[in-house]
Amino acid sequence: MLKISGLHLELEFTEIDLRRAAAKKLRVPESALLDVRLAKKSVDARKKDKVHFVCAAEVCAENEGRILSRCRDTSVQKAEPYRYDLPACTPLAQRPVVVGLGPAGLFAALLLAQCGQRPIVLERGLPVEERAKSVEKFWLTGNLDPESNIQFGEGGAGAFSDGKLTTGTGDGRIRKVLEELVKAGAPEEILTDAKPHIGTDRLPGVVKNIRQEIIALGGEVIFGAKVTGFELAEGQLRALTYIQDGASRTLPCEKCILAVGHSARDIFTLLHGLGLPMAPKAFSLGVRIEHPATLIDRAQYGAFAGHPALGAADYKLSCQLPDGRGVYTFCMCPGGTVTGAASEEGGIVTNGMSVWARDGENSNSALLVGVTPADFPGGPLGGMHLQREIERAAFQAGGGGYKAPAQRVGDLLQNRATQGFGSVRPTYQPGVVPGDLNACLPSYIVESLRAALPILGCRLKGFDHPDAVLTAPETRSSSPVRVLRGDDCQSPGARGLFPCGEGAGYAGGIVSAAVDGLRCAEALLK
């Protein structure tokens, strides 16, 4: 098989066009190509009068060796079909435990189950399909009555992840993750799109299907199980305790993948109290910025904006300020909405999501400012305490009813409080309160946003539009701590405990977390 990259194709290209372009690149007749498949597709919008796709293709052809030697084109290479071999292992004497059922825990448990190890998974919240319904009801009502069934501190808002699958890592396990997602019902396009996503509306069903596969392979998933302690003997994990339905239970456990996510503050506190090696980690703080989707589309695609082959446009922006702080966009949601993601009562956290169609009125992204341990003294948990302080201040600034404080970009740049909104309607539910972001964000964050917005506006026309809305705060872009581990993925202070994924500080998104789940499962099996 040959892989060809750098094929430039029109937005309306067909399989015939792909085959023709591949034959031309290889300098062979189309009849010599036995099979041609799209491998990757990305948008090239650098020239607004000629927006097109750049594609890669996998080709099976006659006499591939001769074609390759004659072609002498670096964009044509010999390729092998992807294959992930399950790690060789023997049945463990005791069933392994996975704590957490986010991307890292889900894929760690899946691999352990595929290897015949019958993992026990402890998930503190509800099943994702039930959690999604209860959290959505809370967003729409804004109340905390029993019917809304919101579970602060139990990962409820994670059910509404956008399902973005972009990652900066080049780990070969990425293909394993994507193939398992497709097998579970994700759109097949995620295998070929350069910036794949599943969509908030489809993701819960995909997660449920992977969970059912784990159970079908002999695994067990226990919901409503909040881990409360780890029992160690001479540095070796022996058991863990958890509460379920108000009763405390002890589970013998000598191998545990700890994949609790970056909002598991009680677990961070617990590990710190046990004296396990931890370190404060740089992370980012800021807001969600919203624009009309049509504005972003025009800025990125020019006259091609609205073309059905393109969908809603995305962006990725960054700048370095004179004082050394970095400001950048993250988790961009084309045609999406700003959502609530609070995990503690009395705090506000914003996030973003898009459904598969990405057809919402607005587009949004996190607009973040980098912070380092120098900004939050207080040891390994200093960043966590800073997050909580900001989230509680935002709750008060929003009036105490889970409405979020928001400010127009024009007002922020003029250093004045917002009285009302203009052409951009905020999408955050249960609603926003216009005001001044200085009421909840540290001054160095606000000043950095004020300095960066005009710079980013020069890089993407309209980004600093006066009516664009800034909704605060975005505090959970990544974990504020790192739970240290060795080359074998185990905690130096607790053999058998494998800190994993975003919460432990080793990932920064769905795919990188899932890959780390596979990595830790492989390490456990050794």
DSSP state letters, 27-51: TS-GGGEEEEEEEEEEEE-SSTTS-
Question: What pTM was estimated for this model as a whole?
Answer: 0.93
Percent over 70 (pLDDT), the chain:
94
First to last CA, the chain: 33
Residue 181 is predicted with a pLDDT of 96
Q: Is the dihedral of CA 391, 393, 394, 395 positive or negative?
A: positive
The pLDDT, as a whole number, for residue 133 is 67
Three-state SS for 471? strand
pLDDT attached to residue 99: 97
Query: What is the layout of strands, in order, in the sheet containing 236-244?
Result: 226-233, 236-244, 247-252
Backbone CA torsion sign across 171, 175, 178, 183: negative
Contacts of 66 (CB under 8 A, 6+ apart): none
Domains in the chain, CATH or no CATH each? 2-78 (3.30.70.2700), 97-279+479-525 (3.50.50.60), 282-474 (no CATH)
> What size, in residues, is the chain?
526
Q: Residue 422: phi, psi to the nearest 5?
A: -105, -120
Burial of residue 390 (CB within 10 Å: 0-12, 13-18, 19+) is buried
Which residues contact residue 165 at a Cβ distance below 8 angstroms, ignoring those fewer than 6 apart? 177, 178, 181, 190, 196, 197, 198, 509, 510, 511
Q: What is the pLDDT of residue 161?
A: 64
Dihedral angle over CA of 401, 102, 514, 57, nearest 10: -70
Q: Phi, psi (5° rounding) for residue 370?
A: -70, 135
Helices 103-114 and 203-216 meet at what angle, rounded to 10? 30
Helix (H) or strand (E) holding 354: none
pLDDT in tens, 243-277: 999 999 999 999 999 999 888 999 999 999 999 99
Q: How far is CA 289 from CA 387, 488, 520, in A?
A: 19, 40, 35
Q: Quick one: DSSP state of residue 192?
A: T
* Residue 214 buriedness (CB in 10 A; 0-12 / 13-18 / 19+): buried
R_g (Cα) of the chain, nearest Å: 24
The two structure tokens encoding residue 413: 């740049």
| CA 209 to each of CA 64, 84, 201, 406: distance values in angstroms, whole numbers, following the listed order | 40, 20, 14, 38
Provide the 3-class DSSP secondary structure of residue 56. Answer: strand
Handedness of CA 445, 299, 354, 178 (dihedral sign): negative
Query: Which segments in the chain show pLDDT lower than 70?
Result: 132-162
pLDDT of residue 141: 53
Residues pairing with 42 in the sheet: 54
